[in-house]
């Protein structure tokens, strides 16, 4: 088995004195550790100490001529199976959240496709500040995991949240993440996301409020779990994670065709997109003029769009199919009915009438129904929901029964 390779980024906080112990505890778990020491971090701990405990050369210079002949910062980013940043100071979090690449650690962060864990460490007032919390929220949306901080006495004399978690806690958290992180290794996963748009005329369309956040989070989580991911997205203002193959579409018909073009090699299909159920029977080639054509009312004739889930389910050698349902009432009842009617392997349902977990929210709360039972994932960020969905589906897929029973 290949040894897990950990890049440890050390920021410039007093908690950096814990870094050598953190390195030792990773090595005790059989991990290979390379340290990236920031300029500020070097004020608290030396390269000699970190090199001695890790057994590897400490990297601390983006402009290292010898290393950069081979694009060393990119190689280091590719080398990592896990990027851990401890301590993560307020300044470092701000630079990472805004995509800065002005030192070796921030460049490795941008270039790696490995899971990222940050252990924050700062004054309690800095931790609570709205600007810092905005940066943390942005990093969470980007898929970063956080461990800590802890509540307690601080070097400045304050008491409150901001202490870096102890090395043992950080390692335990990372080991748990690594245990789950490759649950879809080598699988081909297709994810649909966002809304579709059905044109009325050249300037108007029928659509819905889907932001695409949950679908993009599922794609990102599947990629982090080792899958080869194709993301088929309706029109949204989101960027896909590095390494994901993205296909952009507009209409339900385009989304269906895109799905069918890749589904033959698919192992798991996540149908997260909020596909328009209806489209206009006819599309006007010119803009509809209110004062000329409508007479105070506009009557639309609509027809059903193709059902992508049904198309996939009718395949002779179909993948494991996971449906998603956004409901406004009788959430479990309607979800169970859809699971059975469409013969899905699992369905993820949520109540979009709750604005705190609705289409535009950064958080969600869902229930997964399957023939094996029911699992509720309580309110948290959509990234964390996505990671748990992926882990749950990977487990369901491995224990899928030969015949389907009614979910409890």
Q: Which residues are catalytic?
A: 156
Residues 6+ apart with CB under 8 A from 54: 8, 23, 27, 33, 34, 35
Please provide the DSSP assignment of 184-196 as one string: TTT-EEEEEESB-
Candidates 159, 14, 30, 15; CA nearest to 82 is 30
Tokens standing for 340? 């059975």
- The H or E element containing residue 125 is helix 124-128
Candidates 90, 92, 97, 16; CA nearest to 58 is 16
Q: Does residue 306 contact residue 252 with C-beta atoms inside 8 Å?
A: yes
Supply angle C-alpha 311, 313, 316, rounded to 5.
100
Cis peptide before 149 (omega within 30 of 0): yes
Cis peptide before 87 (omega within 30 of 0): yes
Cα atoms found within 13 Å of the Cα of residue 391, Cβ hemisphere only: 14
What φ, ψ does residue 320 adopt, rounded to 5°? -70, 120
Residues 392 and 375: their CA atoms lie apart, in Å, by: 9
Residues 6+ apart with CB under 8 A from 78: 111, 112, 113
Q: Does residue 139 contact residue 96 with C-beta atoms inside 8 Å?
A: yes
Alpha helices by DSSP H, listed for 316-355, are 331-341
């Amino acid at each position: 088995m290949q040894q897990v390779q950990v890049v440890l980024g050390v920021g410039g906080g007093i908690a950096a004195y814990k870094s050598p112990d953190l390195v030792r505890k990773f090595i005790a778990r059989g991990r290979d550790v390379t340290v990236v020491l920031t300029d500020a971090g070097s004020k608290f701990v030396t390269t000699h100490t970190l090199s001695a405990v890790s057994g590897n050369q400490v990297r601390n210079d983006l402009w290292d001529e010898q290393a950069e002949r081979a694009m060393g910062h990119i190689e280091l980013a590719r080398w990592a199976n896990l990027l851990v940043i401890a301590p993560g100071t307020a300044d470092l979090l701000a630079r990472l959240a805004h995509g800065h690449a002005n030192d070796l650690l921030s460049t490795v962060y941008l270039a790696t496709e490995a899971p990222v864990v940050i252990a924050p460490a700062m004054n309690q007032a800095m931790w609570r500040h709205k600007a810092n919390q905005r940066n943390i929220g942005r990093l969470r949306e980007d898929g970063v995991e956080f461990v800590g901080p802890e509540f307690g006495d601080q070097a400045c004399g304050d008491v409150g949240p901001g202490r870096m978690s102890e090395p043992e806690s950080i390692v335990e958290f990372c080991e748990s993440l690594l245990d789950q992180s490759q649950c879809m290794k080598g699988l081909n996963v297709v994810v649909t996301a966002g809304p579709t748009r059905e044109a009325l005329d050249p300037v108007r369309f029928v659509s819905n409020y889907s932001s695409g956040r949950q679908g993009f989070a599922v794609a990102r989580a599947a990629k982090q779990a080792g899958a080869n991911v194709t993301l088929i997205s309706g029109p949204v203002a989101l960027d896909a994670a590095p390494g994901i193959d993205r296909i952009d579409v507009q209409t339900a018909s385009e989304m269906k065709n895109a799905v069918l073009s890749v589904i033959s090699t698919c192992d798991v299909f996540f149908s997260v997109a909020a596909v328009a159920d209806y489209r206009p029977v006819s599309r006007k080639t010119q803009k509809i003029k209110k004062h000329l054509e409508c007479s105070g009312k506009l009557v639309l004739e609509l027809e059903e769009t193709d059902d992508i889930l049904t198309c996939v389910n009718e395949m002779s050698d179909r993948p494991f199919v996971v449906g998603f349902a956004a409901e406004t009432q009788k959430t479990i009842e309607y979800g169970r009915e859809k699971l059975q009617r469409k013969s899905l392997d699992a369905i993820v349902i949520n109540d979009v009438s709750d604005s705190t977990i609705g289409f535009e929210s950064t958080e969600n709360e869902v229930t997964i129904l399957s023939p094996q039972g029911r699992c509720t994932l309580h309110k948290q960020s959509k990234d964390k929901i996505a990671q748990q969905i992926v882990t749950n589906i990977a487990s369901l897929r491995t224990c899928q029964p030969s015949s389907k029973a009614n979910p409890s």
